[in-house]
Amino acid sequence: MKKIIKQYFNVAVSVDNVVFGFDADGLKVLLISRGSEPFPGSWALPGDLISPEMDLEYSAERVLKQLTGLDQLFMEQIQTFGRVDRHPFGRVFTIAYFALIKVEQYHPQASSWAKDVAWFKVTEIPTLPFDHREILEYARRELKNRIRTQTLVFELLPKYFTLTELQFIHESILEEEFDVRNFRKKTLSSGIIEETGKLQKNVTHRPAKLYRFNASKAKQLDFEGGIL
């Protein structure tokens, strides 16, 4: 028993969060500027070693909150990365999560050892330490899959949104274009988004109708897949 502890209970576990956000110029990822070893000064996924006393799910939320102030986000586990040499301090397994955020409604702020925090377009990511690049690419693929098979696109949109935004977000994530009329027909016929009667304000063109996701209708219809 003592031998077992010595032989096996000597590794560490971390979580790394891939936080996706969405705004007028497309899909973004939240990175922090590291203020401690290893790799101080470099942009990286908000992640940290986790303490043995907390459940895994909760640890992921806590790390994110500690580094960025973000809380109460939609989060799901994606994959664990365990290459022997992925961390310079020793053997660290990292469990990657992704989180989806309504950019307008939260204001991430660096805290703890994070010196800064910023959104980066997914097409303009700087060099990342550890295997964070690999984790990010994996997360992007998973987001593609899950946007098609789960009803989670609304986690990225504000409460009121236009169909054009809904289409643009799908196009950004799936890296594919859709026909405007077919897209509208399909999404509206799902029965899970509804008109609000409101219109866009202060736009220099015909104002678009604002829609909202009807979660209770979705539940009632047993709607669980993607909207496309």
Residues that bind DNA (CB under 7 A): 162-164, 179-182, 184-186, 199, 202-209
CB 176 within 8 A of CB 169: no
64-72, 85-93, 160-168, 174-182 -> range binding its own copies (CB under 8 A): 85-93
For residues 17 to 56, the per-residue mask of contacts with its own copies, x marking binding by CB under 8 A and - elsewhere, is --------------------x-----------xxxxxxxx
CB 130 within 8 A of CB 88: no
SS3 labels along 122-187: CCCCCCCCCCHHHHHHHHHHHHHHHHHHCCCHHHCCCCCECHHHHHHHHHHHHCCCCCHHHHHHHH
Q: Please report how close the Cβ of residue 188 comes to its own copies at its closest, in angstroms.
A: 27
State the Cα–Cα distance between residues 31 and 68, nearest whole angstrom.
Answer: 9
- Told to check if 152 binds its own copies by CB under 8 A, we report no
- Told to check if 150 binds its own copies by CB under 8 A, we report no
User: What is the contact surface with its own copies in residues (CB under 8 A)?
Assistant: 1, 4-5, 7-13, 37, 49-57, 59, 77, 79-84, 89-91, 93, 95, 145, 149
